[in-house]
Structure 1
């Protein structure tokens, strides 16, 4: 088992920085509304996602979208207790990725995008803005990201001074590691600019394995991996080694599983040979995992080596985090001195099993 490195970069932020207990709200979920959120469990909720126009690079909101944003912030502002809201821009997929690359590519498009984002955040009462660019694909786009963050922070600072309001938060969802060491085109995040201009980063510590690799099962959010650097400890330490302060790093946890169909139902360990995606076409929410386990009398295994859980029944194999593995990860994140954690995503669990345990497990240091 790899060791938890607690001697890497020291934080330039105050140790009293408020703990982040975050989760992303998928706006397309029709059977889960902002009023369904238990705000006692979270400090920040991220509205996912909004995208600018691919022509003007501004946010042009039709009436239904405007109403949804207003309902989201109003509901959570007046909840008991209230929770801070952050508007997340972008998301996974080729279209938002290409659009954000275009936005960041020139001073004029960055200016239009930034000004419009701040205007929308203020108009609808958000406490901050979050950039989910998955991912800048080459060194030039990483440079563009640095320009975008510097200019964004400047506008936020000037707007707060002019309006005498608290400055908007500025965060980003980022790759689990500070560099793309697995890709043919090697590139690294502009860590100095991220450190200086973002309040914190949401490191996406999941999707290390999935049905895109049908040859073998895998711990999709392994905290440790004795066989490779596809692990949260490697990714988090890479951010620390690159100079990111601990109190500006928030660790991501998945509320969903990756699944496979086993080649041999008698070979069931992590890394077992597989032939195709499993139940749910390769993905199940945590609620669906519980149904699968119950309906199939599945065998459930906690793997201490990777800090992950998996279950299997027949040839179906499901890898995920349950309460046990998630709580160990919460403890490890605190041992690293991180700012907090976030989940992808709200509505993926019922009765708040993992979220409630995580909120209790994080020992407040502020």
Structure 2
């Protein structure tokens, strides 16, 4: 459902009269009779819900050539009866949004249906023309993410308990494997059956209510050889051109939908399609015969391509010409009304269609975007303007929910201009009006992209609340709040023997009462008892080490929320369990190899005593490990591509143990670089991901999505794919746009950093570029190699640390006491790769056991116990 460029050669502006917008039509003329097909100029007939007038003598079928003038719809317009059920509110919930707590923030009661986005097919290589580009199998990483949302975060159970249906959205804007399979096998009954069985089995296995077929990739991808733009297909025209018919991939999609419906009629079956004809013409409107609803992506009518007019990207009503900059008959601003008319066949014939499709109005839903476009900022990579989530718009402009576009006489479309911004978006009033429009004109409801971008439901500016209010859903229950009182997160609890711990939490509910609070300790559940203002329970630890505790509050209507903390159980003698930090691979990492080869699994293990036993286990199979100081490693060769689980268990000499488990994936990469291609839709959450882009390797320094390597500061250049690299970084290029301030380049053996946007400005001239250092200079101290990372240990006043910075970033050092309180927080600044030595002043600290941590860009890269004497 991610948005894609709408090319400027789209339909001529639609000119449907107001009566058609309200779906009211004149009476139908005498039906055309194939047995009496001869007509002369001026004769009027009706055919397939349309009135026609003969331009001259003709004996052809109306609409089949240029001899008939289409006068428009008649009777009921061929639209059929109104949808007579409650309006559907269909929300898409993505798996990749950083900072959104799905387990607690997602409230299923604000929607009637939720689509988890996206499950994708497995892509085997980057050559679209290869015979094995895709497999009839799901991408394991995407399946893992969807499963995590469904089960680990409780979305499936929580939604179905409230009567909200849960479907998986299959496809999306980067699933080229989906469109390849539909294209290749569109006429292969056996293969389509295999694909249908794969989908049905997945839904049955997961307990899902349905699937949303979201086949979007009609465009070229620079990272996939053989892809090309498929827009502009001709489906008839205003001059009577012949209909090229749907794209073969769309025929495959229709046949797949037919098989899914036949195999299990009880499952919900829907699809999301482009609203206008540039890409919309590729689809087969017979697809709708097998669907419960067809979702029109009525957004991105502006903003998502370079030559876009500056105006609303998701208007409800038609936008008159000459209203906004850049708008013209050949580059119009479309609306939901335009898209609905096109899909129902009511549009004015244009250069590449003769009025649109013939979908019954009762099968259609229209879209509400929870984002806007900032037309003051064009993306440097040539792919439109900056995308801004609605909640970010409101955070910067608190009056945004009621700031209306001055050109919109209805005061529906949102627009804020200030702070150098010019943002268009949907207001709560417009979101509610779209629901009312859908209901008033016989459609099924709304699709929403996407649920994580709204503001708080009761904040007064929520799009979801406006939609529910318009639908009459005014009794939406809000989830309760729960928070820990004792123990506190990261606290160390010292005991000579395992004794009960009192768990204490507070809970409240804004629109109801608390039905109960329960606690979990490493998976075992105990019911809390109200004691004064708090809920309490007791658990007894069974082992020294890390203990995970979870508090869950349930309100009087069954809604719940949880909060999880971790504490450490230490014995009275001062022994603490080992600290285990898996250093390779990282959790969730995708390891790409040209062929299956040896991988070095490693972990740093520290303790206040000896650690005689460290075991590595891959998918349940033990691996032989080797100690190298504090580092333990195992050499392992995967037998096949796939997702693997790595468990590292460390047990010290006093029997305290720690277990850390991570998951990673192994893939075969067929390109020249031993790294995956950069993907604009992928979230690179942790720093250190290595990707390939335009023949070069880059590593991200912090969280990123959609920022182009070589142009955004988040991506650090490593080397060319031929192995050549500059030890200081990437050389300055006179023709390149450096849009993000803080980007470092190399010029004449010196490193410079830009202060603002620049192109063509010589770094040595100063101004926008500031000198950083000579390439020959080094910021590294100490010596490389292994050795003690913190010394002396125990320490009396100062603790010295030798740190190897593997990637450039902001480095900080922390000291945490036994109660989990940070007692020293020292910022070391932004450092390049290399070895460094630091000293923490601990003279004022009390004697005891402490944990020191080293972080780069907020990620812990080193953690160990030390003793202050």
Per-residue CA deviation, residues 193-216 of structure 1 (Å, 9 max, x unaligned), is 122111111100100111533675
Task: Give the secondary structure class of the aligned counterpart of 2:135.
Answer: coil
Query: 1: distance between equivalents of 2:108 and 2:252?
Result: 35
Query: 1: distance between equivalents of 2:193 and 2:152?
Result: 27
Equivalent residue for 1:231? 335
Alignment of 1:314-333 (within 5 A): 314-333=419-438
Structure 2 length-normalised TM: 0.36
Query: 2: distance between equivalents of 1:214 and 1:298?
Result: 28
Query: 2: distance between equivalents of 1:46 and 1:34?
Result: 16
Equivalent residue for 1:270? none
Query: 2: distance between equivalents of 1:283 and 1:21?
Result: 23
Per-residue CA deviation, residues 120-171 of structure 1 (Å, 9 max, x unaligned), is 111111111111111443567623323332343334423x3xxxxx621111
Please tell me whether residue 104 in structure 1 is matched to residue 182 in structure 2: yes
Residue 357 (structure 1) shift: 1.5
Per-residue CA deviation, residues 208-261 of structure 1 (Å, 9 max, x unaligned), is 111533675211112221124612111111111222112210111100010121
Is contact 1:308–1:321 with CA below 8 Å preserved after alignment?
yes
Is contact 1:13–1:248 with CA below 8 Å preserved after alignment?
no
Alignment of 1:199-218 (within 5 A): 199-210=292-303, 212-213=305-306, 216-218=309-311
Alignment equivalent of 1:276, drawn from 378, 386, 394: 378
Query: 1: distance between equivalents of 2:375 and 2:362?
Result: 36
Please tell me whether residue 246 in structure 1 is matched to residue 246 in structure 2: no
Please tell me whether residue 114 in structure 1 is matched to residue 196 in structure 2: yes
Query: In the superposition, relative to structure 1, how do residues 19 and 331 fare at CA in structure 2: closer, same or farther (>3 Å)?
Result: closer
Alignment of 1:23-172 (within 5 A): 23-30=91-98, 31-54=100-123, 55-59=134-138, 61=140, 64-65=144-145, 67-68=147-148, 70-71=150-151, 75-79=155-159, 81-93=162-174, 96=175, 98-105=176-183, 106=185, 107=188, 108-136=190-218, 137=230, 142-158=247-263, 160=264, 167-172=266-271
In structure 1, runs of 5+ residues without a counterpart are 161-165, 262-274
Query: 2: distance between equivalents of 1:240 and 1:72?
Result: 41
Is contact 1:211–1:260 with CA below 8 Å preserved after alignment?
no
Residue 6 (structure 1) shift: 1.8
Equivalent residue for 2:275? 176
Residue 15 (structure 1) shift: 3.6
Per-residue CA deviation, residues 160-196 of structure 1 (Å, 9 max, x unaligned), is 3xxxxx621111110113x32xx7xx935321x1221
- Which consecutive aligned stretches of 4+ in structure 1 deviate over 4 angstroms post-superposition? 8-14, 138-141
Alignment equivalent of 1:301, drawn from 379, 382, 404: 404
Query: 1: distance between equivalents of 2:198 and 2:116?
Result: 17
Is contact 1:143–1:190 with CA below 8 Å preserved after alignment?
no
Query: 1: distance between equivalents of 2:250 and 2:153?
Result: 28
Residue 110 (structure 1) shift: 2.9
Query: 2: distance between equivalents of 1:197 and 1:73?
Result: 32
Structure of higher CA gyration radius: 2
Task: Give the secondary structure class of the aligned counterpart of 1:212.
Answer: coil
Query: In the superposition, relative to structure 1, how do residues 240 and 292 fare at CA in structure 2: closer, same or farther (>3 Å)?
Result: same
Query: In the superposition, relative to structure 1, how do residues 89 and 73 fare at CA in structure 2: closer, same or farther (>3 Å)?
Result: farther
Query: 2: distance between equivalents of 1:342 and 1:251?
Result: 6
Residue 333 (structure 1) shift: 2.2
Query: 2: distance between equivalents of 1:230 and 1:248?
Result: 21
Which one has a larger percent helix, Structure 1 or Structure 2?
1
Equivalent residue for 1:256? 371
Equivalent residue for 2:526? none
Query: 2: distance between equivalents of 1:282 and 1:34?
Result: 29
Query: 2: distance between equivalents of 1:276 and 1:70?
Result: 36
Task: Give the secondary structure class of the aligned counterpart of 1:57.
Answer: strand
Query: In the superposition, relative to structure 1, how do residues 69 and 119 fare at CA in structure 2: closer, same or farther (>3 Å)?
Result: farther
Equivalent residue for 2:329? none
Equivalent residue for 1:189? 283
Structure 1 length-normalised TM: 0.80
Query: In the superposition, relative to structure 1, how do residues 215 and 339 fare at CA in structure 2: closer, same or farther (>3 Å)?
Result: closer
Per-residue CA deviation, residues 247-294 of structure 1 (Å, 9 max, x unaligned), is 210111100010121xxxxxxxxxxxxx7359x961111100001214
Matched pairs, number:
334
Query: In the superposition, relative to structure 1, how do residues 358 and 92 fare at CA in structure 2: closer, same or farther (>3 Å)?
Result: same
| CA RMSD across the alignment | 3.2
In structure 2, runs of 5+ residues without a counterpart are 1-14, 25-75, 124-133, 219-229, 234-243, 322-331, 346-356, 474-869
Please tell me whether residue 360 in structure 1 is matched to residue 480 in structure 2: no
